[in-house]
Amino acid sequence: MSNVTLVEQFNPLLRVDFELKNSFKLLTQINKDRALSMSFDNNLLTEVHGLEYVVGLGIPANLKYTKDHEWVSIEGDVATVGITHFAQKELGDIVYVEVETLDQTLDKDEVFGTVEAVKTVSDLFLPLSGEIIAFNDALESNPESVNADPYGAGWMIKIKISNLAEVEELLSTESSEIPTIEI
């Protein structure tokens, strides 16, 4: 045996990772490590320290919001719509999502579907006028994905926007009635 190495690692030593109500993500992390190496060939003891600070910031891409706590993601003239993290938490465990308006053309603020959670049925309001070209079928058998992943697998409908001017009226950050940051 000519060499003994001792490695200590805290990865992470401290990590704080949170998502704000307006979908911004913040990450701070501290990693620490130390390696002690004893070489018997030349009687050398080596110590290497490491201290790493990680700071991260996440911004949702191209997301707009309505005052009814829905998010809208725009690509060209197609908008994908879902409800925000705040909305799904307010509603509770979602047991059913109904959209019977597929292929229909509706105006902004009309009801395009309903969602049921804890014995309460809530109307879903169309954020932009247009034709409803797609509905996330997976929600029929897995409505809970709206709670688990409201911005990803929990998307609800896609609209072919008929009046692009309405996009300007959408909010760029979600309004929150409770002025505290959720950690």
182: CB partners within 8 A, 6+ apart: 18, 19, 20, 21
Tell me the backbone φ, ψ of residue 41, rounded to 5 degrees: -65, -45
Interacting positions 71-100 with other proteins (CB under 8 A): 95-96, 98
Q: Quick one: tokens of 3?
A: 């060499």
Tell me the backbone φ, ψ of residue 89, rounded to 5 degrees: -70, -40
Q: Between 77 and 140, name the residue whose CB sits nearer to other proteins.
A: 140
Interacting positions 134-163 with other proteins (CB under 8 A): 140-141, 143
Q: Interface with other proteins includes 68 (CB under 8 A)?
A: yes
Closest CB 122 distance from other proteins, rounded Å: 4
Q: Between 141 and 180, name the residue whose CB sits nearer to other proteins.
A: 141
Interacting positions 105-124 with other proteins (CB under 8 A): 114, 116-123
11: CB partners within 8 A, 6+ apart: 31, 33
Q: Quick one: tokens of 107?
A: 């105006």
Closest CB 11 distance from other proteins, rounded Å: 41
Q: Residues in the site for other proteins, rule: CB under 8 A? A: 68, 95-96, 98, 114, 116-123, 125, 140-141, 143
